[in-house]
Structure 1
Amino acid sequence: MRLLALSALLLTSGATHAGEVPLRFSIADAWAMPLVRIDDHQPSGGIIFDIMQSMAAQANMTAEYRVVPVQRVERVLNSGRVDVRCYTTQSWMPSLSGDYTWSLPLLIQRDLLISTPDNPAPRSPETLSGETIGTVLGYVYPTLQADFDSKVLHRDDARSEVQVLEKLQVHRYRYAVGSQWSLDWFNHNLPDDQKLRSVAVIDEQSVGCLVRNDPGIPAQRLMRILLRMRMSGEIDRILERYKTVSGLPADQPAAAR
């Protein structure tokens, strides 16, 4: 009960002045570095946190954060309890209703099939019939969903990508799905002979932010801020702090879908 209460806690990056309208962001409790660092149930660093902090500051608004389970993100958005969701794409939110503005793509999310150092041979997902795959509870994997639905592949859910990779590391299963960023972060302090291995790229998705269309929220101004952050190289500089890259062309942002 305590964890459920804390996961829904409204987290504020600073005191909201009387009369000031905050900009309310959602954060999935499954996220971990390099996306977000959460200390004492409050985000304190990471790629997406830095993007959201800068976005709010440039809009002269105070950022507030609501940490919620992945399965509840759409419900929280649909209820109007948050205004902005970053690190998302439309295929991950098939049940989203309401009126939203989607930003241009800001990053490329690359999902990998990952295995252990003693099983590094490249594998195609089509050759994994009957395997149990490490996955994150509530995450959508479009390219694997048909195989999960038909029981050709079996999910073994954990609460975060870190936990998924930790279970893979101790051989709870032979394969897991994780992002390139999570894999690199997990491996960066491990000796070479202990690093987990990417054996296939299973999906690439352009991800950005969505903003709820509401008279009290400057949606178009926020879209312009994100465009400026991308075109000016600010997002690339944020990524450099975490020793990673966006995956988008360096000279210009990808076209909005």
Structure 2
Amino acid sequence: MRWAVGALLGISLNVAAAEPPLRFVVADSWAMPMVQLDRGRPTQGILHDMMLSLATRVGVPAEFHVLPRARVQNAMERGEVDVRCYAAQSWLPNQSGDYIWSIPLWSQRDLLISREAQPPHVDPASLPRQSVGTVLGYTYPTLQPLFDADHLQRDDARNQEQVLEKLLAGRYRYAVSNHWTLDWFNQRLLPGQQLHAVTVLQEQHVGCYVRNDPQVPVQRILRTMLRMKMSGEIDEIIRLYTGSAEDNP
């Protein structure tokens, strides 16, 4: 699949070289299998491959802008980038600007995880007062009331992989991770070292949104996303990195 995406890109770039690139924003807090960042540039991962294929099928070059998560929405509003993927409207309740959302493309599951095997379900509200590993700038609606009450405290790291590394090192007993990153992280560990999901905190559908600008081929982008989802291409990209297809949103 990755070879096919690269070959398709090579063919189309000659045709589309004169057209403006499609500018994607990439949060520097993403980790594999979503995106691999090498020297500040995305090189592989589920979202990298999907966005690269999207631009190729639209017929324009892809351009990636890696930014801190706190600057992502501002870059969209200022017209510095055109497309943001792996987002939900509930994450942006005060979104300003003119955007058009895609259909749901993925399912996002936030998990409370631990180094130790636990009973099938752990209620965060029943935990004693302690720090929980989180990603800087991420919101966790299920845990926010406990953070507000100072029952639990955030221990922020720059990206999701760093959160898991700190949990593995014993910096705290619990952390939050999405299911993709947890599975990817566990692949490199022996069975006795692997981290365990102890409860599902939240599950929601996520997609992409496009800046509604006459210079951006908005409808062509949205139609292409729909075809990629309906044809199974997006699920095939997920399977390439995780070994299993995504549950359909």
Does the pair score TM above 0.5? yes
Match of 2:135 in 1: 136
Shift of 1:153: 1.4
Match of 1:245 in 2: 245
Aligned-residue Cα RMSD (Å) equals: 1.8
The TM-score with structure 2 as length reference comes to 0.90
Contact 1:133-1:155 at 8 Å conserved across structures: yes
Question: What CA distance in whole angstroms lies between the structure 2 residues aligned with 1:210 and 1:29?
Answer: 18
Shift of 1:181: 0.6
Match of 1:213 in 2: 212
Shift of 1:162: 0.6
SS in 2 for 1:95: coil
SS in 1 for 2:20: coil
Q: Which residues of structure 2 form unaligned runs of 5+?
A: 1-9
SS in 2 for 1:55: helix
Question: Quick one: which amino acid aligns to residue 233 of structure 1?
Answer: G
Match of 2:90 in 1: 91
Question: Quick one: which amino acid aligns to residue 23 of structure 2?
Answer: R
Map 1:44-55 to 2 at 5 A: 44-55=43-54
Question: What CA distance in whole angstroms lies between the structure 2 residues aligned with 1:224 and 1:159?
Answer: 34
Shift of 1:143: 1.5
Map 1:225-244 to 2 at 5 A: 225-242=224-241, 243-244=243-244
Superimposed CA distance per residue, residues 212-246 of structure 1 (whole angstroms, 9 cap, x where no aligned partner) = 00001111111110110011010111111112432
Q: 1:22 to 1:16 in 2, by over 3 A?
A: farther
Shift of 1:206: 0.3
Question: What CA distance in whole angstroms lies between the structure 2 residues aligned with 1:223 and 1:143?
Answer: 31
Match of 1:81 in 2: 80
SS in 2 for 1:101: strand
Contact 2:111-2:178 at 8 Å conserved across structures: yes
Shift of 1:96: 2.1
Q: Which deviates more from structure 2 when the two are superposed, residues 144-153 or residues 180-189?
A: 144-153
Q: Report the number of matched residues.
A: 236
Question: What CA distance in whole angstroms lies between the structure 2 residues aligned with 1:246 and 1:216?
Answer: 33
Question: Quick one: which amino acid aligns to residue 144 of structure 1?
Answer: L
The TM-score with structure 1 as length reference comes to 0.87
Question: What CA distance in whole angstroms lies between the structure 2 residues aligned with 1:53 and 1:47?
Answer: 10
Question: What CA distance in whole angstroms lies between the structure 1 residues aligned with 2:105 and 2:167?
Answer: 30
Q: 1:240 to 1:139 in 2, by over 3 A?
A: same
Instruction: Give yes or no for the alignment of 1:159 onto 2:158.
Output: yes
Shift of 1:171: 1.0
| Percent of matched pairs sharing the same residue | 52
Runs of 4+ in 1 over 4 A off after TM superposition: 13-19
Shift of 1:18: 6.7
Question: What CA distance in whole angstroms lies between the structure 2 residues aligned with 1:105 and 1:18?
Answer: 30
